[in-house]
Amino acid sequence: MTLRGTNQEFGRPFNRRIVLESIRLHAPIKRADIARRVGLTVQTVSTIVRELEEQGYILSLRDEPNGRGLPPSQLRINPDGGYAVGIHVTPLGVDAALVNLSGEVVESAHRDAPNATPDHAFELIGALVPELTGQRPGGRILGVGMALPGPFGVESMSFVGPTTMAGWQDVALRERLADTTGLPAFLETDMAASALGEQLYGLGTRFSDYYYLYFGYGLGGAMVHDGTVLRGAWGNAGEIGHIPAIPDGEPCPCGNRGCLERYLSLEALGRHAGGEAEWLRQIGPIFRNAIATIENLFDPETVVLGGLAPLDLLEKLTAAAQHLPNTVSARKDRASPRIVVTCGGHDSVLRGAAALAVSGVLSPRFGQMFETDEHRGAALRERGAAA
């Protein structure tokens, strides 16, 4: 789906972002083609393009003259026009990556830190960030985004159990991240950050309405609707891992029994005594029912299977879901399979976390995507000032 420009509703910052996104998605592209795609005048696009070029966010390349005057220049994102750091804290350790404006991981690092306390994790982050940004001396660092297991702010459910982080409740994470790094800081659940990474740099170019199933140490997911990650009233939509799947099943640290992620997660696979093949056979029916639930709830174009699991395990899971139950998704006119494996891999979560920071520059949908009330207010003021 292509967003259209407007001078009414969002004003200039919005137009700037849709022009940038259009360049990112369709580069190399001419001014006139951008104007046609986003519904702005060529003059408006040219003004924005000049500004973005002066600021170093885009590059303009001209073909050799062909005898009939100068050919129009082609525009593309300047990959080195800016960088952001993406951080992923898991129960196993801290991953970090320096990501450029094209969404490519240019440097990355990992530190083992099983069940790290916030103090320990922020100490590692405080060392990792300058180590990564130091690899691009003089580069413009736009900010830092951190992804970690959710849910956030639910007493008795947040940061409890093996798939979450103990001792992290009541920590002002965003402020701590900003203080530690000295950069604009952003925060998300890992499943939503990963869905954002997929949307911006992965299968989001093929699908606009899909369910992103995050198969990590735990199990999560997010519905992407019209290119936007649905967040719920408190930003916790997608805790699919705690959907009750098996009556009187295994006890879950959330307090219930038989939750999906007790069977369907890397943590569950690790606990399973019988090895991967036997685990796959056992969880096959549970997985198929989960897919059926997702399809009937959301009517997605497809379910994208991603997260931290190795791609070959995701392929095996997909194979284990060969014969899916009948649902609203069992359509004859399907253009794609009901389950598709991510093309982003593990990097999706780091690229998504970094994108939280670059989105202010790159993504026109950001304003509808991940704003806190505080930021929403700031964005509205910005829009008001621009109008």
Return residues touching Zn ion (CB under 5 A). Answer: 242, 252, 254, 256, 259
Give least dist CB 229 to Zn ion, A. Answer: 22
Nearest to 150 by CA among 66, 214, 86: 214
Q: How many CB atoms lie within 10 A of CB 276?
A: 12
Nearest residue (CB) to Zn ion, 149 versus 300: 149
Nearest residue (CB) to Zn ion, 254 versus 321: 254
Give least dist CB 164 to Zn ion, A. Answer: 10
**Amino acid letter, residue 377:** G
CB of 218 within 8 A of CB of 164?
A: yes
Give least dist CB 250 to Zn ion, A. Answer: 9
Q: How many CA atoms, within 13 angstroms, populate the side-chain half-sphere of residue 252?
A: 31
Give least dist CB 218 to Zn ion, A. Answer: 9
Rg (C-alpha) for the chain, rounded Å, is 22
Nearest residue (CB) to Zn ion, 259 versus 379: 259
Nearest residue (CB) to Zn ion, 126 versus 249: 249
Give the whole-angstrom CA distance, residue 353 versus residue 137.
22
The two tokens of residue 325 are 């139950």
Give least dist CB 57 to Zn ion, A. Answer: 44
Strand order in the sheet with 83-89: 105-112, 93-100, 83-89, 141-148, 185-189
CB of 104 within 8 A of CB of 63?
A: no
Give least dist CB 239 to Zn ion, A. Answer: 8
Q: Report how far apart, in Å, the C-alpha atoms of 331 and of each of 204, 248, 301, 325, 334 are.
A: 21, 34, 10, 12, 6
Helices (H) and strands (E) in the chain, counts: 12, 13
Nearest residue (CB) to Zn ion, 203 versus 254: 254
Nearest residue (CB) to Zn ion, 75 versus 237: 237
